[in-house]
């Protein structure tokens, strides 16, 4: 499983951003979405592993289909979300692309903060 997570992290970071009017700022914003998505995944898994009674709240568990997804299921959903964010961003006009990526960043930062407040840790182990 650790190999899969490592590969996903490198793939997320290496996703090329090619759109007709894609700027360096767009690339940085999409990269921040990738980074926050990975941090959210790590803190979510930490929260679930801290205690067998921990679960994902009803607000977000619809994405995974359950309150305690497996690591593979959770990372698979995160990968689909990133691919979706890339293609949505690619099709939006430049102004709206930036708004979309900043909005995604805000949601992810909120989720990370919520995980940390719930007692999740943050660590990367290989």
In a domain, 18, yes or no: no
pLDDT tens column, 9-57: 655 555 554 556 788 899 899 999 999 999 998 888 888 888 888 777 7
Q: Which residue has the tokens 């698979």?
A: 76
pLDDT tens column, 64-88: 777 888 888 888 889 889 989 999 9
Please spell the DSSP secondary structure of 54-69, one letter per residue.
----HHHHTTTTSSS-
In a domain, 124, yes or no: no
**Average pLDDT in the chain:** 81
How far, in Å, CA of 4 to CA of 36, rounded? 18
Domain count of the fold of the chain: 1
In a domain, 123, yes or no: no
Domain span at residue 73 reads 2-11+23-117
In a domain, 111, yes or no: yes
pLDDT at res. 106? 96
Inter-residue contact 37 to 12 (CB < 8 Å): yes
The answer to whether residue 63 scores a pLDDT higher than 60 is yes
């Amino acid at each position: 499983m650790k190999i899969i997570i490592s590969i996903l992290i490198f793939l997320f970071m290496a996703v090329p951003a090619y759109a007709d009017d894609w700027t360096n700022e767009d690339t940085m914003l999409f990269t921040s979405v990738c980074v926050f998505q990975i941090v959210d995944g790590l803190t979510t898994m930490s929260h679930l592993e801290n205690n067998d009674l921990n679960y994902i709240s009803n607000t977000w568990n619809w994405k995974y289909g359950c309150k305690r997804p497996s690591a593979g299921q959770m990372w698979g959903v995160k990968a689909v979300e990133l691919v979706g964010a890339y293609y949505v961003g690619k099709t939006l006009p430049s102004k709206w692309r930036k708004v979309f990526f900043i909005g995604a960043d805000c949601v992810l930062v909120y989720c990370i903060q919520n995980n940390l407040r719930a007692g999740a840790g943050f660590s990367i182990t290989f």
